[in-house]
Structure 1
Amino acid sequence: MRRLTLFLAAAVISTPLFAMHCPADMAKIDAQLENNPPSDPVVLEQVRSLREEGQALHEAGKHSESVEVLGQARALLLEE
């Protein structure tokens, strides 16, 4: 019972942290798209699509999924 309580408390505390992380990731992606976009149009479209999906997940309250999708977009930008 004690472990369950600690787990639930950690989950409640971490949810707002993910929520604050999403806008920061979106801003980083937007800045890189504006200042140094990928030269490959396929990669550019993938990044834009993942960025939009991440924002939709964030707005739906699915912050951990949003962080994951936005991380994929950032990884594509770093590879470029």
Structure 2
Amino acid sequence: MRRLFLLCSTLLFSTSLWAMHCPQDMTKIDEMLKTDPPADAEVLAEVQRLRAEGEQLHKSGNHGESVKVLEEALNLLQASE
């Protein structure tokens, strides 16, 4: 019983950490798009699509997947520099 409680507590805590991470990533993407957008229109469109998808996943409560999608967008932005 004690292990189950610890497992549930850990899962709840980690979910809240993911939830707080998403807005930070979205803000970082927005700032990078504002200050130094990619020159390639296809990369720009893909980053915008991923950013929107990440926000939608965050709003629906799927924070783990949101972080993955937003990380992909950040990687595209960093690779285009």
> When the two structures are superposed, what TM-score results if normalisation uses the length of structure 2?
0.92
Q: Which runs of 4+ in 1 moved over 4 A?
A: none
> Any stretches of 5+ residues in structure 1 without a counterpart?
none
CA RMSD of aligned residues (A): 1.1
**Matches of 1:23 and 1:62 in 2, distance apart?**
13
Letter in 2 for 1:18: W
Q: Which amino acid in 1 is paired with 2:48? A: R
What is the TM-score normalised by the length of structure 1?
A: 0.93
Unpaired runs of 5+ residues, structure 2, are none
Report sequence identity in percent: 51
State the distance in 2 between where 1:62 and 1:78 align.
24
Quote the residue 1:13 is aligned against: 13
How many residue pairs match? The answer is 80
Q: CA deviation at 1:15?
A: 0.9
